[in-house]
Amino acid sequence: MGRPPGPTATRPSLCAGFRLRIVYGRHPSQFGEYYAPDGESFPVVVVIHGGFWHERYGLELGRPLAADLVAHGVAAYNIEYRRLGGGGGWPQTGDDVLAAIDALDPAFGPVVTLGHSAGGHLAVWAAARHPRVIGAVAQAGVLDFLQHPHITRRAAELLGGTPSEVPALYADASPAALLPISKPLILIHGEDDEDVPFAQSEAFARASGAELIALPATGHMALITPNTPAWTTSRTAALRLTHP
């Protein structure tokens, strides 16, 4: 896969709530926001937002999660990437996630990916593809592009064709096609999820040996809503992976 131009970083503030903006390419969506506690080096949780890869959803979804992660002692890197309607598709969207991780200073600590919905797809996919990623947490992740018709229809938008039209892209992009993945994976999914079937995580856990945490009476968005048990479970899982 290709890579955008080398990264740059700007430091808008050095006060409380410090944020480092990392620009990893020329496209307006090729940047991330890095937050860290006071100190020198911390494990990094890469926050990858969802939205079925469409441009109408952005990294603002991940900002409250990043802030909460920092409050619990790790650095958080909330990334944006090219999405459908704004230069995205495959492999561009996947390339951006890898390039965003490439842009992290090598001096930073271990890297764990945390993603919700389509971001869960990218979190697990990046764990399979990027050597710096030591583990991944998928929150209601889209993990098998062939398992459910409405998931396959969404994946066809991302990949630009059906499984019979672009089979090589499905083999490259769908986490289920990349097994085995030799890194720890934690799948967190609400049993009442109305957008991504719980069976996505259930079947992937059986096939991969990943840890599955099922959340009864929990829907899709609770997983990224701070102060809910679903988010607390997600945060705890990410923190656990940062200390192998």
- CA-to-CA distance for 110 and 44, rounded, in angstroms? 6
Give the C-alpha separation, 120 to 181, whole Å: 15
**pLDDT, position 41:** 80
Buried b (16+ CB within 10 A) or exposed e, 135-165: bbbbbbbbbbbebbeebbebbbbbbeeebee
Q: What is the pLDDT of residue 12?
A: 35
| Parts of the chain with a pLDDT under 70 | 1-18
pLDDT of residue 19: 74
For 48-100, write each residue's pLDDT tens digit: 999 999 999 999 999 999 999 999 999 999 999 999 999 999 999 999 999 99
Structure confidence at residue 158 (pLDDT): 98
